[in-house]
């Protein structure tokens, strides 16, 4: 369930209109669901929101990779279904 929330946060950061000023300031960072998903997952693993009991650093890497892949596939599916925003 937490992974769904992390993907949601990622998509809000990438596609949300409320973050347009920030997206314009750092377009390379905030226009890629996979990149933002990795950073959201790394932060969640590092802060202990998601724990795999492998240590904070390894948790951050594993959760970052998982959220990255999930965010990329979710974004691609939503673009396919709904079109480009």
Are the C-beta atoms of 82 and 44 separated by less than 8 Å? Answer: no
pLDDT in tens, 8-39: 999 999 998 898 898 889 888 888 999 999 99
Q: What is the pTM of this model?
A: 0.87
In this prediction, residue 52 has a pLDDT band, given cuts at 50, 70 and 90, of confident
Q: Where are the domains of the chain?
A: 2-82
């Amino acid at each position: 369930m937490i992974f769904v929330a992390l993907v949601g946060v990622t998509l809000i950061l990438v596609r949300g209109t409320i973050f347009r000023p920030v997206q314009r300031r750092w377009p390379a960072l905030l226009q890629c669901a996979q990149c933002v998903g990795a950073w959201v997952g790394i932060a969640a693993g590092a802060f202990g929101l998601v724990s795999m009991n492998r240590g904070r650093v390894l948790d951050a890497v594993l959760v970052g990779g998982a959220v990255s892949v999930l965010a990329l596939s979710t974004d691609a599916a939503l673009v396919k279904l709904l079109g480009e925003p």
